[in-house]
Amino acid sequence: MNIGICNRCNKMKELCKSHIVPKSFFVSMRDNPNDLIQVSVRLPGKTVKRKIGIYDTNLLCQQCERKTSSIDDYGKEVFLDMACSVIHGNERSGCQYEIENVDIIRLKQFLIAVLWRAAVSQRPEFESVKLEKKVRQKAKKIVFEEVTPKHSEFPFLIIKYLPSDFGPVIVNPTSFVFERCRWAKLFFPGYCVWMYVGRRAPPVIFRKIISYSSSTLYLFGMKYTTSSTFKSAMNVVAGKDTY
């Protein structure tokens, strides 16, 4: 039993195991009883076996944890259960996908929930996720007070990795600065989400491709094995680098 201050209600309570990325995503990657392999960025070349991903025992009480269960379920539904169709190009060289009948607001709330948990967590795996205080507070209200995010708040784009013989991968969330703007990357099996997490509106050049206003979700296809994330991960596995 772990007693501490819940990051949502700020009360001293018994805290539970809170997954940053929901457990269902890790379970979906296990086609057999084998454990998942975690690559350590702090200890290059070392791997750790995990059954259900990474959880934090100092994040939320059980009552507050339950408040995110329905949006976590919806995130799993979109990324793992809904049909994703090619609308342009082909899966060999590059294409664009779409998923129809998506509740974009609900999906955004799910992504913000993952982002908030990673930003608040004290686990070393998520120390690179940095959010300004006002952005973090806004994310908390959206997740726990069911505040509908504005169209301009936390806009995102989704990359779907093209089918390959490389198995499904989840990389820990991270944040970074690109074009003088702060972004976050969230990963799910076969997908990478770029989310704008700055306080000001994103640059005009990005607004059209990172904002969704209909019930159709558009995704950009790319090869995982040619991505910078894959190259960095391989260097870590080989003990050559950290990322």
| Model confidence pLDDT, tens digit, residues 41-91 | 555 555 556 556 788 999 999 999 999 999 999 999 999 999 888 888 776
160-217 tens-digit pLDDT = 887 765 566 777 888 888 878 889 999 998 889 999 998 777 777 666 666 566 788 8
Around Cβ 114, how many Cβ atoms within 10 Å?
27
Q: Is residue 155 part of a domain?
A: yes
How big is the CA angle at 137 (ends 111 and 133), to the nearest 5 degrees? Answer: 110
In a domain, 106, yes or no: yes
Residue 242 within a domain: no
Q: Domain range spanning residue 126?
A: 14-237
Assigned domain for 3 exists: no
Classify residue 31: in a domain, yes or no: yes
Of 154, 174, 150, 147, residue with least CA distance to 228: 174
Residues with Cβ within 8 Å of residue 170, at least 6 apart in sequence: 21, 25, 26, 29, 53, 187, 188, 189
* pLDDT for res 207: 67
The pairing of beta strand 217-222 with beta strand 174-178: unpaired
- Number of structural domains, the chain? 1
- The rounded mean pLDDT for the chain is 80
Q: How far is CA 39 from the centre of its chain?
A: 17
- Binned at pLDDT 50, 70 and 90, residue 239 comes out as very low
Render pLDDT for 12-34 as a digit per residue (tens, 0 to 9).
999 999 999 988 888 776 655 55
Domain-embedded: residue 5: no
Phi and psi angles of residue 88, each rounded to the nearest 5 degrees, phi first: -145, 145
